[in-house]
Every structure is written in C-alpha cells, then in structure tokens.
Amino acid sequence: MRDKKHDLIDQKLQDLNNDGVDRRGFLKCMAWAGTGLVWTMSGGIPASRAFAKVYGKDAGKGGDFSFVQISDSHIGFNKLANPDVTATLQTAITKINAMPHKPDFIIHTGDLSQLSKPSEFDTLDQALKGAAAKQIYFVPGEHDMLSDNGEEYLQRYGKGTIGSGWYSFDHKGVHFVGLVNVANLKAGGMGSLGHEQLEWLETDLKGRSASTPIVLFAHIPLWTIYPDWGWGTDDSEQALSYVKRFGSVTVLNGHIHQIMQKIEGKVSFHTAMSTAFPQPAPGTAPSAGPMKVPADQLQRVLGITDVNYLVSGRSLAIVDSPLGDQGSSASGSGRGLAVVDSVIG
C-alpha cells in the first residue's frame, strides 16, 4: 500500500514537471533505512533503486569500469572527534579491497594531512600502499597547503600537474579534471579557482565532443552550500559554464565531511564523507569543525564513495558506504547510503 511519503514524492515530481526543467533533470529522492538517501535517475525517468542491486554480489558486472573516491583523511589529527584517523583510513582501505569488483583507481579529494607535515604524508602513503587499486589521483585540500603553500604536496603528488596542482586525464571514454580551489584560501573564506586555472579549464574542454562524459573533482564544493562557513567556490559559476554543453557532468568534492547532493540539468553534484571525522550540518553549530560523536557511532558517519560507469546502461552510479556498515560489501545493506544515477550523453 502506498503511504503518504510516496504520495508526497510523486507530488514533488509533478511540481518539477511543471517548472520547465528538462526531463533529464528529474530526481526522485526517498528515505532509505531511515538514515540515508537513494537518488536515482535513468533515461530521464525517476525511480528508486535498492542498494543491493547496485552493490551486491553482481556489482560491477556489465560495467565498463569503476573508481572509488575517498576524502579528508586528515592524517595527523588526534583530537576527541577521532584520536586515530590512520585506523579509520585503514578501515576505508580494507572496505575498498573487499569490494566484489576491483576499482580501476582511487581519487582522493583533498585534506590528505592535518598540518601538511612530511611525516603525515609518509603515514598516508604507507596506508595507501595497501589499497588494491594502485593508481591514485589527488587534489589538495587547504590542510595540505598550511605550512609551505603546498610545496611538499606538489613534490609528492603534483608531478605532471599545472600551477598549484590542476590537471586532467582520460579513462575509457570519460574525461576527468582535477581542480584546485584551496590556494591562498583565507580562514572561513570561499574557495577560488582563479583566472589562470579557469582559462586552462576552458581550453582543456574546448575541443571535446559534447557527448564526452565529464567528471570534475576538487576539494571545496563547486556549488554554494553554506557561504557563512566558506562551503562553496566563489568563481564556480564560470567554471560550470564551460561544461553546460556536455551531456553528462559529475562533480565530486569533499571538505564538508558529509553527503550532500543535487542535480542541475545535466550536472550532478556530490560531496563525500570523510575518513577521519564528521562535521555538523550547515548552520546547526556556531562554526564548522570536527564534531564528536559517541565512539560506537563514529564509523557510521565516515565512509567512501564507489562510482560505477556503465556505457551500455548510459549511467554513472555513485554509492556512499559508511565504514561502520555492519554488513559486508556484498550484503546490500542500505544503511547510511546514497546512490546517484545520471544519464550519460
């Protein structure tokens, strides 16, 4: 029997149908296991999807490739919110290695370290050596540029990049762009890409077919979530204007240590959980910062993001998985998970 929640969802969808938004922009959002959200869109028709169907024993079959996003490891942090961030990063790596399909690579969306100390980067590198996926792409967070304006970070992870660490690469028909919006960041201020990087981005994208799937990734969100806490990028609108002509654009960010998502037309925005500690929801505390939760609940608010790209199904599915999920990766537990499907092309 349909309940009032489903009726309300359908009414919201009908409201969207009347607002002039293209059918590709439709979203259906429903509560899942009381703690997470499942957002799906396929072929312009909104529908819900059980996590087990995405992440069960057949996960990855039929997909062209998958990759994992991790974020905000903050190696070196040792306060009450999480006195052992290395251990929770290791838990994340163990969870990645237990996936039923091996990801092609890992993307780390910044704040690898807490104070950008060489010893912190050493610890991170040692932990990541245990990951089954050996190819890892990085962008810096503001914590990776604290002591030396990012020089140590660039020496270790910035080979072949431009400026303060931006770059692009192609993988099996998808174009990935790593952006840096934390250089010269003021405390509590919004992120910024800057004129030089924006010019480079425009040139990088200019010669590509509009049917090419695009994935942008950067530390601070490329959409404005909460400017009072600096949760946004002040010149992101210009950057996003360069991707409007593409049929599918996915934007992956970190920084805010929690899952937030939205879809605008053909652009899907997604922020990831941290592997270190949670932060409060926007406006629910005097300021952003590490949030202490009971020890037995910590791993429920930390996690990883698995992205599966399927050419045949013309979709890109994003699955957030908390470290404290009691089931195995193949169990299909939906607790605390989010899924986004967006149309490719």
The residue ranges of every structural domain in the chain are 63-343
Task: Give the SS3 label for residue 262.
Answer: strand
Buried b (16+ CB within 10 A) or exposed e, 238-248: ebbebbeebbb
Q: Please choose, from the candidates 329, 313, 318, 308, the residue with its C-alpha nearest in 3D space to the C-alpha of residue 65.
A: 308
Between the alpha carbon of residue 291 and those of residues 102, 143, 189, 229, 261, the distances in Å are 32, 17, 20, 15, 21
Residue 253 C-alpha from the chain's centroid: 5
Residue 193 C-alpha from the chain's centroid: 18
What is the Cα–Cα distance from 231 to 191, expressed in whole angstroms?
Answer: 8
112: which 2 tokens? 């690898």
What pLDDT is stored for residue 104 in this prediction? 87
How are beta strands 338-343 and 249-253 bridged, if at all?
unpaired
What is the Cα–Cα distance from 243 to 238, expressed in whole angstroms?
Answer: 10
What pLDDT is stored for residue 200 in this prediction? 98
What pLDDT is stored for residue 319 in this prediction? 62
Which alpha helices (DSSP H) does 102-254 contain, by range?
A: 118-128, 151-157, 195-206, 236-241
> Ramachandran region of residue 30, left (φ > 0), alpha (ψ -120 to 50) or beta?
beta
204: which 2 tokens? 């990088």
Regarding pTM above 0.85, the answer is no
What pLDDT is stored for residue 259 in this prediction? 87
What pLDDT is stored for residue 107 in this prediction? 93
What is the Cα–Cα distance from 40 to 47, expressed in whole angstroms?
Answer: 6
What is the Cα–Cα distance from 158 to 140, expressed in whole angstroms?
Answer: 9
- Mean pLDDT, the chain cut into blocks of 10 residues (345 residues total): 44 37 27 22 27 39 70 95 92 86 89 97 97 95 93 96 97 92 87 97 96 93 94 96 93 91 88 90 91 83 68 54 52 30 30
CATH fold group of domain 63-343: Purple Acid Phosphatase; chain A, domain 2 (3.60.21)
- Beta strands (DSSP E) in 54-104 are 65-70
Task: Give the SS3 label for residue 14.
Answer: helix
Give the N- to C-terminal CA distance of the chain in Å, as an integer. Answer: 36
336: which 2 tokens? 């605390």
